[in-house]
Amino acid sequence: MVSSLRPKSLSEALEFRTAEKARPFAGGTDLMVRYRGYSGTLPKLEGPILFLDAVQELKEISVGKSEITIGAGATLTQMLACGDLPELIRRAVELIAAPGLRNRATMGGNVCNASPAGDSIPPLYVHEALVVLVSPEGERTLRVDEFLTGPGTTALADNEILKAFRVPLLSSGLTYYRKVGTRRANALSKLSAAGYAALEGGAITDFRFSVGAVAPTVVRLTEAEEMVRGSSPDRIDIDAVLEAAAPRIRPIDDQRSTADYRRQTALNALQEFLNILQK
């Protein structure tokens, strides 16, 4: 018999998490699939389960001058209802699954699942978002790229819960988001990419580009970014930028796509954003 708790407060949730080493369960849209049994039977969840969906403190979204804080337990639908949700995150979340699933699924679950194909992750990398982790000892904050340590692995300790994302707002500029999948709805990505460019006085003052599903974790194409920063759009040597980006792109073949397709599509996405910048 699996023990479980559906607490209403974060402190109660942390107590159970710590005492039982209970597994957090937010929307369950990854967990129910991972532990599914035969058709018509319940999923075989292992170990104590901590249901988080009634903990209000995990669902809060608050907007400040320079950052937005998004509760890890806010559903994707709740996020989309927030008028101040940053554009890049909105575009990614709108393309996750379908409305029924977005009513349950959370960004906390998307990130803690730690799939390199998690669609909310490339925008979080571009925003240089922070994750706030809470345990009975207090809170600690990590960069999202420090939190995600490999495919399916994170820096979450077994007495911690992901409480919230602190997402620095981007100053005005151009953003880019591209999801490549078999179909528009209910399809996991073959690849997704997010980009941002800020321009001032004819020069690109900031340039960021991240890609998911092309390496063990989502990656920022830092060498390519550095080549673009400081130059004017019409002076960008696109071939040289693509060459600088290539070593970061190390995809694998799997059931959704081939490594070759992913490698080429990631570079096409970067090229597409650079072409938009040059228009």
The CA–CA distances, whole Å, from 227 to 201, 204, 205, 233 equal 18, 10, 11, 11
Residue whose beta carbon is closest to ligand FAD: 109
Measured from the CB atom, the residue of 186 and 278 that comes closer to ligand FAD is 186
The one-character DSSP state at 117 is: T
Measured from the CB atom, the residue of 188 and 215 that comes closer to ligand FAD is 188
Please report how close the Cβ of residue 51 comes to ligand FAD at its closest, in angstroms: 9
Measured from the CB atom, the residue of 108 and 251 that comes closer to ligand FAD is 108
CB atoms within 10 A of CB 69: 17
Measured from the CB atom, the residue of 167 and 228 that comes closer to ligand FAD is 167
Q: Which of 65, 50, 249, 63 is nearest to 164 (CA)?
A: 63
Measured from the CB atom, the residue of 29 and 210 that comes closer to ligand FAD is 29
For residue 169, what are its two tokens? 């707002």
Half-sphere exposure of 86 (CA within 13 A, CB side): 33
Please report how close the Cβ of residue 119 comes to ligand FAD at its closest, in angstroms: 4
For binding to ligand FAD (CB under 6 A), which residues are involved?
23-31, 33, 52, 72-73, 96-97, 101, 104-106, 108-110, 112-113, 118-119, 156, 161-162, 186, 188
User: Phi, psi at residue 20, to the nearest 5°?
Assistant: -105, -5
Q: Which amino acid is at 181?
A: G
Please report how close the Cβ of residue 104 comes to ligand FAD at its closest, in angstroms: 6
Please report how close the Cβ of residue 255 comes to ligand FAD at its closest, in angstroms: 14
Cα 125 to chain center, whole Å? 8
The CA–CA distances, whole Å, from 204 to 173, 193, 239 equal 10, 19, 18
Please report how close the Cβ of residue 17 comes to ligand FAD at its closest, in angstroms: 9
